[in-house]
Structure 1
Amino acid sequence: MRAFITGASGWIGTAVTDELIANGHQVIGLARSDASAASLEGKGAEVLRGDLDDLDALRTGSQRADAVIHLANKHDWSDQAGTNRTERAAVQTIGDTLVGTGKPFLVAAGVAGLTPGRPATEADPNPSHGPDAPRGGTENLALEFAEHGVVPVSLRFAPSVHGAGDHGFVKIIADADRRAGSAAYIGDGEHRWAAVHVRDAARAVRLGLEQATPGLVLHIVAEEGVPTKAIAEAIGGADGLPVESIDPAAAQEHFGFMGMFFGMDLSASSTRTQEVLGWTPTGPTLVEDIASGGYAA
């Protein structure tokens, strides 16, 4: 297939681009910079210049491809409302372009906040609806296009998609620990985070593309829940930092905006996803990646 990928040069998108090309698919990658364009061209991908605000580019890429994989997000924590509006406009534009085509439309989402108190499953609905919801309510928006001749698939990623070069949540936590001089966990450290290695995540996305059915919900999760205390201990061991528990009231001072997330239970199961796709994660665990120095200074 010829897949149009937004975020094709990002952390997950780079791995997905490599995975698709290695398995005989073609990629059109949305690139907003010369560096991103050069990277994609070097991999053998076709480049379409633009960004999430360029709705004409999103229409063009969607029209020229057999499928769309939407991975990009601004992640502007200083303007979350604006980020959500941009995300919703992008998904609406792509979905409208694909109406009646029968093309797969894979959309990045997350497992965070689905089912506080227990691991989320693929059967759990996303409570986020409307433009003011997290990510602009785009998971539910995309799934609605199943009624309009599109094949939407939700890609619910673990909060940690880890590996060498990851600059996501765990990197932010490790950087905050180094600034503070200690590797911290909040309270008893029993909050659990789902995790998946980036190569396993890319393989799951490729299988989801190849086996897309309307309304399919996939959990891109290898480890159901890694205790945050174990994450802190791994960071402390890798960086030679003391490990300590901090009060929830001190979390924002230590971690910045990540303080609101590190004290949450973000666990999820991928049992159904593994059965449906025939997908078995084989990559290193999150703690193994941290302990090997993947997040060290």
Structure 2
Amino acid sequence: MRIFVAGATGYVGSAIVGELLQAGHQVIGLARSDAAVATLTKAGVAVHRGDLGDLGSLRAGAAEADGVIFAANKHLSETTDSAARAQAELNAVEAIGSELEKTGRPFVVTSGVIGRTSGRLLTEETPAVPNALTGLRLPVETSVLAMGERGVRASSVRLAPTVHGQGDTRGLVSMLIGVARSAGVSAYVGDGSNRWSSVHRRDAATLFRLAVESAPPGTPVHAVAEEGVPFRDIAEVIGRRLELPAVSLAAEEASRHFGPLAPLVPIDSPTSSALTRERFGWLPTHPGLIADIEEGHYFD
């Protein structure tokens, strides 16, 4: 297949590109800068110039492909307004969808699992209900999944909150390490028993390939290798590696300590990928979150 990838030079997107190329697919990568062009060219990827604000360019990229993977987001350098970023991403996927309509071609969008439920196991069949954490971004996934009714083989790969692995410099694990270094302690809230699901970057990339190759229209896909890692375990391994104490914080202390991460840290968000594994034969093979942090590459 010839696959158009938006976000092809990102942390997850670059892993997707490598997975697609290894499987024998051709890749067209969206590039918004000369640096992105150079990166894609070096990787043997065809370059399509444009960005998420250039809807005509997105439609043109989709038109020349057999399928599309959307692993991009509106760059923070362009706007820090969360609502504006979410609207820009919605406009982008709808433009791509308009090009794919009635073609039966696949369109895979990236979403997430954290915050969809509180303390209850999230499955692929749990209804998507907007809330304070998911409300802005959920319309992107909802729009794409609904394209199945318009002749698009649309699916959504929902990523675990911790997509870990080599090269993670801006994800949640890296941010937590930065907070611990700055504060001099690695913290959790309460007893730290709340759970975050996780997936290795390369296992997630495999699932994107499987989705673009075979996901039926309207399918939610859970890129979750570990159903729920207790947050205290994450804080403790970070503390060990940094030689800092792992400490419990009261809920009212979380905002001061974690800053923008404070709403996410105490969330209990266990997530199942049982249906995904059954449907696609997906078997994660890379290290789990705690083992990956223990390897040390996050601290180089």
Q: Residue 274 of structure 1 aligns to which amino acid in structure 2?
A: R
C-alpha displacement at 1:85, in angstroms? 0.8
Residue 116 (structure 1) aligns with: 118
Q: Residue 37 of structure 2 aligns to which amino acid in structure 1?
A: A
Residue 219 (structure 1) aligns with: 222
Please, what TM-score do these two structures have when normalized by structure 1? 0.96
C-alpha displacement at 1:136, in angstroms? 5.4
Alpha-carbon distance in 2 for matches of 1:36, 1:257: 29
Bigger mean CA offset, 21-30 vs 34-43: 34-43
**Is the Cα contact below 8 Å between 1:70 and 1:108 reproduced in 2?**
yes
Residue 99 (structure 1) aligns with: 101
**Is the Cα contact below 8 Å between 1:84 and 1:133 reproduced in 2?**
no
Instruction: Tell me: CA distance 1:47–1:198, structure 2 relative to 1, closer, same or farther (3 Å).
Output: same
Q: Residue 215 of structure 1 aligns to which amino acid in structure 2?
A: G
- Cα distance per residue 1:216-274 (max 9 Å; x no partner): 11100000000100000010011111110111212121111111101111220001101
**Is the Cα contact below 8 Å between 1:52 and 1:58 reproduced in 2?**
yes
Q: Verify: 1:47 aligned to 2:47, yes or no.
A: yes
Residue 24 (structure 1) aligns with: 24
1:264 maps to which of 256, 263, 267: 267
SS at structure 2 position matched to 1:265 = coil
**Is the Cα contact below 8 Å between 1:224 and 1:270 reproduced in 2?**
yes
User: Which consecutive unaligned segments of at least 5 residues does structure 1 have?
Assistant: none
**Is the Cα contact below 8 Å between 1:142 and 1:152 reproduced in 2?**
yes
- Cα distance per residue 1:58-117 (max 9 Å; x no partner): 111110100010010126494111111111111111111111111101011111222212
C-alpha displacement at 1:178, in angstroms? 0.5
Alpha-carbon distance in 2 for matches of 1:78, 1:256: 16
Residue 277 (structure 1) aligns with: 280
C-alpha displacement at 1:134, in angstroms? 2.1
Q: Residue 91 of structure 2 aligns to which amino acid in structure 1?
A: A
Residue 125 (structure 1) aligns with: 127
C-alpha displacement at 1:3, in angstroms? 0.6
Q: Residue 242 of structure 1 aligns to which amino acid in structure 2?
A: P
SS at structure 2 position matched to 1:9 = coil
Q: Residue 21 of structure 1 aligns to which amino acid in structure 2?
A: L
Matches within 5 A, 1:188-227: 188-227=191-230
Alpha-carbon distance in 2 for matches of 1:133, 1:119: 19
Q: Verify: 1:240 aligned to 2:238, yes or no.
A: no
Alpha-carbon distance in 1 for matches of 2:112, 2:127: 12
- Cα distance per residue 1:2-60 (max 9 Å; x no partner): 11111100000000000000110011111111111111111111111111111111111
Aligned residues: 295
SS at structure 2 position matched to 1:116 = coil
Alpha-carbon distance in 2 for matches of 1:193, 1:75: 25
C-alpha displacement at 1:207, in angstroms? 1.0
Q: Residue 217 of structure 2 aligns to which amino acid in structure 1?
A: P
Q: Residue 238 of structure 1 aligns to which amino acid in structure 2?
A: R
Residue 164 (structure 1) aligns with: 166
Residue 69 (structure 1) aligns with: 69
Alpha-carbon distance in 2 for matches of 1:160, 1:182: 20
User: Which consecutive unaligned segments of at least 5 residues does structure 2 have?
Assistant: none
Q: Residue 3 of structure 2 aligns to which amino acid in structure 1?
A: A
Bigger mean CA offset, 36-45 vs 230-239: 36-45
- Cα distance per residue 1:132-190 (max 9 Å; x no partner): 93215111111111111111001111001100111211111110110000000111101
Residue 292 (structure 1) aligns with: 295
Q: Report the identity percentage.
A: 47
SS at structure 1 position matched to 2:227 = strand
